[in-house]
Amino acid sequence: MSLPAASHLDSLETPSAVVDLDVLERNLARGAAYASKHGFVLRPHVKTHKSLFVAGEQLRLGARGLTCATPFEAEVMSSVCNDLLIAYPPAGTVGARRVAAIRPDVQLKVALDSPQVLEVLAAAAETAGRKIGVYVEIDVGMRRVGVTPGGDALALAQRIGKYRNLEFAGVAFYPGHIRGPIAAQDDELADLAALLNATLDAFDRAGLTPPTVSGGSTPTFWRTHELPRITEIRPGSYVYNDRESAGIGACTIDDCALTVLATVVSAAVPGQVVINAGTKALGREPVRGEHSGFGQLLGRPDVTVSRMSEEHGILDLSKTDWRPEIGERVRVVPNHVCIVTHLNDLIYGVRGDKVERSWPVDARGRGFKPIS
Amino acid sequence: MSLPAASHLDSLETPSAVVDLDVLERNLARGAAYASKHGFVLRPHVKTHKSLFVAGEQLRLGARGLTCATPFEAEVMSSVCNDLLIAYPPAGTVGARRVAAIRPDVQLKVALDSPQVLEVLAAAAETAGRKIGVYVEIDVGMRRVGVTPGGDALALAQRIGKYRNLEFAGVAFYPGHIRGPIAAQDDELADLAALLNATLDAFDRAGLTPPTVSGGSTPTFWRTHELPRITEIRPGSYVYNDRESAGIGACTIDDCALTVLATVVSAAVPGQVVINAGTKALGREPVRGEHSGFGQLLGRPDVTVSRMSEEHGILDLSKTDWRPEIGERVRVVPNHVCIVTHLNDLIYGVRGDKVERSWPVDARGRGFKPIS
């Protein structure tokens, strides 16, 4: 059973994930134009959409390759792209073997930050009989993953040469510690630029100039060209955007392509109504700012999702005179869009009130094997 | 491709959801024994497991029927059970029609709290040519959904008689406002008992004695027999349990059947290690208590997941001398297990180190229709 194309938005069940196709197309074009203008290789991160349809559009608009977080994402994306980066250390033999088993015609790169992962990856590559490129992940201040940018990074890069199935492909970093408004990043970007220059100079002196310097994050995305020696960018959220991106100025709220369509199911308690989008539809991601809730209504920025259960979202009506009817539909701009994608199997693409198409979240889940 | 039964835990990929079958069986038996001892109809809520395998075990152990949150859960469960409660108001025509289209041989009940939902449900039942039982949902203090227990509840129950395809099947409540430790609930339970007595006395006086009084929540579960006139309980979390249940004393940490098996992927930053279970594996559910994080390690209660990104969980090592190796595996007891189920497609069942079976999360997602 399926719905006919050009169905009205009101024919959709709720809570469902709806993408405004005009906004998606504008976002895709803007990201591609930025990369092109500054001569960056565009390698979008698929974690935000996990979709072959959206990845296809990114590649059509000039993306050289794709970035993946998991082996399953890479397996799925290998059907449309033969140049993949897995930007996540495949620790442990089981995970490394799955990485090495990606289609052999894919130019595969892996970002990692330890000799231990280097070793299991080398063993898996040898068993699979393939070459794998290695990006050395450096920590530029987020303190999550990544080796210290100084001698440790260089030492790790030098170890790669020990393994005949691995080759040094570049340096990767993720400035996730810079999360403030775009206009207020000057000092942090200056520090980051100095760190990158010092690090890369040391690589040069050792005769190990990185073929690729891969960087960027959503908050710093549009200022990446101010950093030295970057050759590649890996934007994720820019396709859909979200409330967090809008809050830091990486986009406006009108650039948020994905909303959660929900229905008002109860108005029994005064001062609030309940919609059928809770944590299982929106996640529970925070956003900066006091009392900012877990999402805001499209077209009604003064109405936020103030509390949630798994299938219930409480809309706080204290800042509005609007009193929706039971059965009325609303669209929620989520705080963080990547988790919303992970919570859905199917995305509906709309123009205005018309549902034009749908696409599966192809790389949702992990593709694990059942027990026979 | 599948894994052979009796594979070692180390053969599983990570991050995966692992259920200790001994603990699951003990939890199932304990819940069934409690219902049986006190003469309650057991109607477990499937939202916690969304699994035909676990539902089958619940029915085998004496559950009379099942509780569902969504139409899709009810559709899936209708293949193993013909007595289903949808404990969620199907607001809007699209949702009500899907509810009314559940297999006609199912004795279907719906909990709701407004005349508007009553009306759309009646229209959908009429169109489908079926009877639907209605539970009037009353708000006993949580202030989420539910009509005021006094005259409003009775008035709503009286309206049901206007619709020939609907019948008054009972009163439902969810004391979600009682969230403190079990031993400290005396006063709240006394208030709740008084409220229930007053409400049900009014129903009696109006000649509308509810055929079923359906109640319970995880925090109050084991004290339900102290409340008056309850005939039915709808426990959810008791099958798997979680850190929140253990925190309030509804179980011990050893009763938590489901853990997330994860791998240490990075130890680059001193004082912490990174595992490959982040928000996409654990959710971002809070638990009471300061600095309590998003999960704790099985067997290492002093190690918690202190920060997360989508695919990264940061283990805080400040309270332990333990220093895991990269590639080492850990098991995380999640704060709230229902969201973890929703994040996974497949659950592995283990005894000790042996993986005995796996089962799909059959009712994960929403079963929405694609656009043709």
User: Over the stretch B102-145, which tens digit does the pLDDT of each residue have?
Assistant: 999 999 999 999 999 999 999 999 999 999 999 999 999 989 99
Average pLDDT of chain A is: 96
Residues B37-55: tens digit of each pLDDT: 999 999 999 999 999 999 9
Residue B341 has pLDDT above 90, yes or no: yes
Nearest residue of A to residue B148, measured between CA atoms = A268
A1 pLDDT tier (thresholds 50, 70, 90)? confident
pLDDT at B151 over 90: no
What part of A 6-45 touches B (C-beta under 8 Å)?
7, 10-16
Percent of chain A with pLDDT over 90: 91
Reported as a single tens digit per residue, the pLDDT across A88-115 is 999 899 999 999 999 999 999 999 999 9
Write out pLDDT tens, residues A186-245.
999 999 999 999 999 999 999 999 999 999 888 899 999 999 999 999 999 999 999 999
| A117:B326 CB<8 A | yes
pLDDT at A291 exceeding the cut of 70: no
Summarize the confidence of residues B187-214 as an average pLDDT: 96
Q: Which of A93, A269, A348 sits opposite B371 (nearest CB)?
A: A348
Please report, rounded to a whole number, the percentage of residues in chain B having pLDDT higher than 90: 91
Residue B267 sits at the chain A interface (C-beta within 8 Å): yes
The model's pTM is: 0.97
B142 touches chain A (CB under 8 A): no
- Of B369, B312, B367, B370, which Cα lies nearest the Cα of B76? B367
Tell me what pLDDT residue B161 has.
95
Question: What was the pLDDT predicted at B1?
Answer: 74
Q: Name the average pLDDT for chain B.
A: 96
pLDDT at A288: 80
Residues 168-227 of chain A whose Cβ lies under 8 A from any Cβ of chain B: 176
How far off is chain B from A29, nearest CA to CA, in Å?
25
* Least CB–CB distance from A11: residue in B94, B114, B269: B94
Residue B6: predicted pLDDT: 87
Q: Does residue B215 register a pLDDT over 70?
A: yes
Does the pLDDT of residue A317 top 80, yes or no? yes
The pLDDT score that the predictor gives to residue A216 is: 81
B122 min Cα distance to partner chain A (Å): 14
Instruction: pLDDT band for A290, please (50, 70, 90 cuts).
Output: low
What pLDDT, on a 0 to 100 scale, did the predictor assign at position B290? 63
Q: Average pLDDT, stretch B7-21?
A: 97
